[in-house]
Structure 1
Amino acid sequence: MPAYSSPIRRLVRPRGALLAGVLGSVAALLVTAAGPAAAAPPGPDRPVQPGQAWMGAGTRIEQGPPPSAGGEVSTMDTSGVQGIDVSHWQGAINWGSVRAAGIDFAYMKATEGTSFKDSRFSANYTGSYNAGLIRGAYHFARPDASNGATQANYFASSGGGWSQDGKTLPGVLDIEHNPSGAMCYGLSTTQMRTWVNDFYNTYKARTTRDVVIYTTASWWNTCTGNWTGMSTKSPLWIAHWGTASPNIPSGFPTWTIWQYSATGRVSGVSGDVDRNKFNGTLSRLVALANNTA
């Protein structure tokens, strides 16, 4: 017989059960109030919703699905010029502690698609700058939502701009495996090339800078058809975790930034954070920021 089967007993619940119910309700309210930054990012059983994607959100041919906490085997090459990339999933960040931990640069999510702006962007962009990091913004591409020019304009108007102050890196087009649908967003290789080229041209017209392309070799080679058209235009930010040497997409001579881990840890950031390495000295990174590289 189910508990509290009679009308009277349903009204008079034991104090322990009542307390548990109250505490459960309070906990639910706290989670809701805390928002997405306090929760774990979506995983294989928690689909990514529009606006909620982050760098490395999609499944990769090289390395499989995004790793769960502690699940990645990485070389963790912390030599040279080190950086991180973040979004609202990391919550509030102590940028002074990040800088003290030896991190020289950071990219943070600004926009996605045509209407989403990351809720932590302003705090991250200003906080990292004030802490002395060289920083920049990235746009998570949704080629199925609009053409490339529309998204480039939205990005440039919503945090993706550039100034020659030695501390602002050129914006990033984060174009990778679709985290919530067909790998290439339903576009043919010809259509994808057009989309990327339109984004590039529009962003350069708005900012004077060549947009950095963040991608993986598997996505780029598959969805653009081994396109070499951006190799002399855009610096490459390659994502390839847990390897001593990343795979480079067709046509690109080398990498400028390498995202070598998705489960790194850095003082000042709660939980996992993407770790990155710049291919050069700190003076070369400053030159990239100043557009004198």
Structure 2
Amino acid sequence: MKFTPHLSTLALLVATSQAAVQGFDISHYQSTVDFAGAYSGGLRFVYIKATEGTTYTDPKFSQHYSGATNAGFIRGGYHFAQPGSSSGAAQANFFVAHGGGWSADGITLPGMLDLEVANCGGLSTSQTVAWIKSFSDQYHSLTGRYPVLYTNLSWWTTCTGNSAAFKDTSPLMLARWASAPGTIPGGWPYYTIWQYKDSNAYGGDSDVFNGDEAGLKRLASG
């Protein structure tokens, strides 16, 4: 997941969020990950790319998911949205069928929908909101949970008109590579997860959960 980077310092992050749990997100670009080392290094959760559109499955998903599970991580899959290629419901079906499901076991995060496709996938703002709702409603129908939505202020404003349609259902994973999260889009009162840096000592991007470990476990429990 890539957005225009800014300078980021962990020291400032910790100063602004005292109850915070560190994590990361990865895909096949990280061919091997030292999950045991990452856990020993203080990370406690990871999002792993599972699918894209309705035809692509990440070739490293199963390996990464097993490695994360065995190391004790709270983990979940994410889907890279391709709104211009098929319906939201169809992509939710594909995601759930290929690793994006959820169960109330305390270690499985609700699936995350990665919203960053270029040019809004060719959709208008109203079409984009309708597409996300189609995905979200179908994911909820299949799993009993609404997906986490990953976005940033610029994409959400441009592609949805800064819609507040999801603030009461889907947790926000905010992408902003900086020392502070900045403006929260979409009427969300706060972010649930902040992707604050485009690198991590163990691969992928650096994320932080807005709460303590008990809160993170509640997110994975329903």
TM-score above 0.5, yes or no: yes
Q: What letter corresponds to residue 229 of structure 1 in structure 2?
A: A
Number of the residue aligned with 1:233: 169
Structure 1 residue 254 and structure 2 residue 190: aligned?
Answer: yes
Where does 1:109-258 land on structure 2 (aligned, <5 Å)?
109-178=49-118, 183-258=119-194
The 1-side partners of 2:189 and 2:31 are apart by: 36
Structure 1 residue 107 and structure 2 residue 59: aligned?
Answer: no
The 1-side partners of 2:40 and 2:179 are apart by: 27
Once the two structures are TM-superposed, the CA of residue 159 in structure 1 deviates from its matched residue by 0.2
Structure 1: unaligned runs, 5 residues or longer: 1-54
- Greater relative contact order (Cα 8 A, min sep 6): structure 1 or 2? 2
Runs of 4+ in 1 over 6 A off after TM superposition: none
The 1-side partners of 2:75 and 2:105 are apart by: 11
Q: Describe the superposition over 1:177-230 as per-residue Cα deviations: whole angstroms up to 9, x where unpaired.
A: 42xxxx211101111111000000000000001110000011011111121110
C-alpha contact 1:84 1:274 (8 A) present in aligned 2: yes
Number of the residue aligned with 2:218: 287
Aligned-pair Cα RMSD in Å? 1.3
The alignment of Structure 1 onto Structure 2 pairs a total of residues equal to 216
Q: Which SS does the other structure have where 1:152 is aligned?
A: helix
Q: Describe the superposition over 1:161-183 as per-residue Cα deviations: whole angstroms up to 9, x where unpaired.
A: 112211100000101142xxxx2
Structure 1 vs Structure 2: percent identity of aligned residues? 47
The 1-side partners of 2:127 and 2:26 are apart by: 29
C-alpha contact 2:164 2:188 (8 A) present in aligned 1: yes
Structure 2 length as normaliser, TM-score? Answer: 0.93
Structure 2: unaligned runs, 5 residues or longer: none
Number of the residue aligned with 1:73: 7
Which has the greater radius of gyration? 1
Structure 1 length as normaliser, TM-score? Answer: 0.71
